[in-house]
């Protein structure tokens, strides 16, 4: 584990597999992300360029845009350009739900159970309740 509970990954193993999941944010989370990225990276995120509206049964959200199946924030080296500010859903990967992990992640089987349990707890606490309840999103 790295600082702030982040996992230390070798992207050569998976080609940034975690960045092939579409992170979804609430309007407040989007506003916070834009402010953090502005402060940390001096980068202005135009919501229309970097995010799509996603309608769910429980509300309207904002999904990070994907380009050719990968997050718009990946650079040519498959590194995240906003890593220190990335959304909670990105930070908590390979946990993809309160009680589920992405088994395709090459390090998931090497992680101690206590690490996975901690990430699952954080998922339950940090991911918006509406987003956790959604079964699917329709992009509008």
**What is the structure's pLDDT at 9?**
72
**What is the structure's pLDDT at 3?**
40
Annotated domain spans of the chain:
3-139
| Of the candidates 66, 81, 74, 115, the residue with the CA atom closest to the CA atom of residue 95 | 115
d(CA 98, CA 103): 14
The torsion angle over the Cα atoms of residues 102, 86, 70 and 15, rounded to 10 degrees, is -60
**What is the structure's pLDDT at 67?**
94
- 35 and 102 in contact (C-beta within 8 Å)? no
**What is the structure's pLDDT at 44?**
97
For the chain, 140 residues long, give each residue's pLDDT as a single digit of tens.
444 445 667 777 777 878 888 899 999 999 999 999 999 999 999 999 999 999 999 999 999 999 999 999 999 988 899 999 999 999 999 999 999 999 988 889 999 999 999 999 999 999 999 999 998 899 87
């Amino acid at each position: 584990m790295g600082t702030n509970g982040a996992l230390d990954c070798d992207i050569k193993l998976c080609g940034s597999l975690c960045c092939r999941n579409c992170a979804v944010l609430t309007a407040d989370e989007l506003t916070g992300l834009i402010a953090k990225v502005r402060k940390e990276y001096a980068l202005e995120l135009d919501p229309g360029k970097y995010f799509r509206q996603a309608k769910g049964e429980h509300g309207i959200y904002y999904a990070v845009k994907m380009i050719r199946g990968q997050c718009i924030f990946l650079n040519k080296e498959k590194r995240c350009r906003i890593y220190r500010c990335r959304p909670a859903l990105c930070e908590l990967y390979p946990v993809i739900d309160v009680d589920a992990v992405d088994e395709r992640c090459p390090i998931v089987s090497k992680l101690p159970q206590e690490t996975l349990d901690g990430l699952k707890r954080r998922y339950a606490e940090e991911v918006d309740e509406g987003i956790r309840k959604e079964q699917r999103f329709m992009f509008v």
